[in-house]
Amino acid sequence: MSSLRFTLNGREIDASGADPNTTLLLWLRERGWTGTKEGCAEGECGACAVVLVRRGSDGGARYVPVNSCLFLLASAAGQEILTVEGVAAGALHPVQRAMVELGGSQCGYCTPGFVMSLFAEYYRPGRAEEGFDLESIAGNLCRCTGYRPIREAGRGLPMIADGDAHADRLSRPAPASEPVDYALGARRYFRPTSLAEATALYAAHPDAKVVCGGTDLVVEMNQRLRRFETILSLEAVEELSGFDDGDDALVIGAAVPLSEIEARIGDDPPILAALFPLFSSRLIRNRATLGGNLATASPIGDSPPALLALGAEVVVAGPSGERTIPIAELFTGYRQTALAPGELIARVRIPKPYPSIGRFYKVSKRVHDDISTVAAGFALDLDASGTVRGARLAYGGVAATPVRATAAEQALVGKPFSREAIEDAKAKAATAFTPMTDQRGSAAYRAAMVTSLLDKLWADTGATA
Ligand SMILES: Cc1cc2nc3c(=O)[nH]c(=O)nc-3n(C[C@H](O)[C@H](O)[C@H](O)COP(=O)(O)OP(=O)(O)OC[C@H]3O[C@@H](n4cnc5c(N)ncnc54)[C@H](O)[C@@H]3O)c2cc1C
Ligand code: FES
Ligand code: FES
């Protein structure tokens, strides 16, 4: 198919003729839909937020806000999108009215993005019982109004009135994800819906650039002007979208958006429950995936230390079928993985029972919406007498790859979990890594974090272990 059609603000749109490398934001603005703003083009400000109609984890349709600056236009194929131009029906939408009446807008540049995030929050099932979720606007920045009036606008949102057309829309199913094969000249965009199709396409187009949520890759395309002849999107692959919380393991598809994992796991395992609220913003988490986070093999990615601590395995799929890689063997060098040519990350398997003690810590300049300077995932198994039977202490930001402090782990195993044992582990961990200095932190600061996070582990858990 060489046409690219989707629904924009309730109208069928034919966007054929657009480069598959184009983002939704650029296309919208070029076509005159200039309500959606560009602030940073790297997912940091939320001025570009739009809303998708997507299938929620309970099967019902939901409004999901995303950053259109990191959303490839071709990903919109067959989908339904609302921009700020589509929210008002005659009179202002209640979200817009709340922003006006409570003084939530000054220069107005950030306002369309806030309106779209608040719009999705307005229709969130559960808002009536739980109240306004401040996290819903965590990915939107404002540089002149001040956040208090915007927060008050959120808190002041009325309940949904009868006959609300946007609420009625959610009573029908969200659009299905159909396979896409879109071309403009030599440039192609594929969006297969099965793993067999995805691996076959990758085998046929070995130079294709794989994309899932795009929250890493499209930043690179925007900032470094990288362009690809062939793009292979995994976001609609059915087998990569599974979530199975079984007796032996929690298995999470590589393409499940982080916000969905966050909603589905609740408080368990605590390492992941602590990780997701610290991982960027809801806007990013609505698109970012575990597959993308692991495939980048960034030494400061947040999921690797957590998954290393949980003893996870990564199932990869390629032309000759599937194989399982223990996560400790996935990262082979700076931004390099053990994936062979043609292989894709299919899912992550986290064995059960979960460790008796599990903690995730992230050290960054801001608590929320920031990249790690150092991150740590700690997991201990204690027996009934309080003796450590197993330990996994994993770090990010201290070496070329996410890594475990194995000597420090050995210093804990077989001993009662005590201040003394933690001191032994700290002594081993202190010499385990040679961190680098960069703009986020000096080598000395990072080295200090390696041991002080073990103090934090003891402070958080020692008294109750
Ligand atoms: C504003 C902002 C804040 C961020 N904050 C954080 C943060 O707090 N913590 C953090 O860890 N990261 C953060 N990130 C980085 C990014 O969001 C994550 O790495 C995310 O998990 C990437 O997932 P994705 O699906 O969007 O990857 P994509 O951008 O789609 O892909 C990333 C890379 O992985 C490859 N890939 C994707 N899926 C697969 C697969 N299944 N198999 C094989 N290869 C694959 C792609 O080819 C590409 O090279 C942030 C990014 C932005 C823009
Ligand atoms: S333009 Fe800033 S997040 Fe998209
Ligand atoms: S109103 Fe000016 S940036 Fe928010």
| Domain residue ranges in the chain | 1-175, 357-461
From the CA of 50, the nearest ligand is: 2
Say how many Å lie between the CA of residue 218 and the centre of ligand 3. 25
User: By alpha-carbon position, which residue is closest to atom 4 of ligand 3?
Assistant: 142
Right CATH for 357-461 from 3.40.50.300, 3.40.50.620, 3.40.50.720, 3.30.390.50? 3.30.390.50
CA neighbor of 89 nearest in space, from 147, 143, 187, 163: 163
Residue 1 is predicted with a pLDDT of 54
Residues lining ligand 2, CB < 6 A?
38-41, 43-48, 67, 69
Report the pLDDT value the prediction gives residue 89, as an integer from 0 to 100.
84
Strands 374-382 and 249-253, bridge-based pairing: unpaired
Ligand 1 centre to CA of 369 (Å) is 15
| Amino acid in position 149 | P
Round to the nearest angstrom and report the end-to-end CA distance of the chain: 60
DSSP 239-295: GGS-EEE-SSEEEEETTSBHHHHHHHHTT-SHHHHHHHHHSS-HHHHTT-BHHHHHH
Q: Is the CB of 257 under 6 A from ligand 1?
A: no
What integer pLDDT is reported at residue 370 of this predicted model? 83
Atom of ligand 1 nearest to the CA of 287: 26
- Enclosing H/E stretch for 381: strand 374-382
Distance 213 CA to ligand 3 centre (A): 27
**100 CB within 6 A, ligand 3:** no
* Nearest-CA residue for atom 3 of ligand 2: 43
Cα-based angle 65, 375, 369 (whole degrees, multiple of 5): 25
Report the separation in Å between the CA atom of 45 and the middle of ligand 2, taken as the mean of its atom positions. Answer: 5
| Pair 446, 426: CB distance under 8 Å | no
Substitution candidate for ligand 2 out of 24, 27, 40 with most atoms within 8 A of CB: 40
Buried b (16+ CB within 10 A) or exposed e, 71-101: bbbbbbbbbbbbbbebbeeeeebbbbbbbee
Res 456: pLDDT: 97
**Among 294, 301, 300, 307, residue whose Cα is nearest residue 343:** 294
* Beta strand 209-211 pairing with 230-233: parallel
Beta bridge partners of 349: 251, 313
Q: Which CATH superfamily is domain 1-175 in?
A: Beta-grasp domain (3.10.20.30)
Which tokens is 88 given? 């008002």
Pairing mode, strands 5-8 and 80-82? parallel
What pLDDT is attached to residue 465? Answer: 64
- Does residue 240 contact residue 195 with C-beta atoms inside 8 Å? yes
Q: Which ligand is nearest to the CA of 109?
A: 3
Q: For the residues of 125-168, what is the DSSP string, one character each? A: TTHHHH---GGGGTT---SSS-HHHHHHHHHTPPPPPTT-HHHH
From the alpha carbon of 37, which atom of ligand 2 is closest?
1
Q: Is 62 helix (H, G, I), strand (E, B) or coil?
A: strand
pLDDT in tens, the chain (465 residues): 578 999 999 999 999 999 999 999 999 999 999 999 999 999 999 999 999 999 998 889 999 999 999 999 999 999 999 999 999 988 999 999 999 999 999 999 999 999 999 999 999 999 999 999 999 999 999 999 889 999 999 999 999 999 999 999 999 999 999 999 999 999 999 999 999 999 999 999 999 999 999 999 999 999 999 999 999 999 999 999 999 999 999 999 999 999 999 999 999 999 999 999 999 999 999 999 999 999 999 999 999 999 999 999 999 999 999 999 999 999 999 999 999 999 999 999 999 999 999 999 999 988 888 888 999 999 999 999 999 999 999 999 999 999 999 999 999 999 999 999 999 999 999 999 989 998 889 999 999 999 999 999 999 998 666
Residue 408 neighbours by CB distance under 10 Å: 24
What is the distance between the alpha carbons of residues 321 and 277, in angstroms, rounded to a whole number? Answer: 35
**Pocket probe mutation, ligand 1, options 42, 210, 259, 365, max atoms within 8 Å of Cβ:** 210
Rounded Cα–Cα distance for residues 91 and 97 (Å)? 9
- Dist. CA 409–CA 416, nearest whole Å: 13
The CB of 143 under 6 Å from ligand 3? The reply is yes
Expressed in angstroms and rounded, the spacing between residue 356 Cα and the centre of ligand 3 is: 46
User: To test the ligand 2 pocket, which listed residue (27, 34, 42, 71) has its Cβ within 8 A of the most ligand atoms?
Assistant: 42
In the chain, how long is the greatest CA-to-CA distance? 70
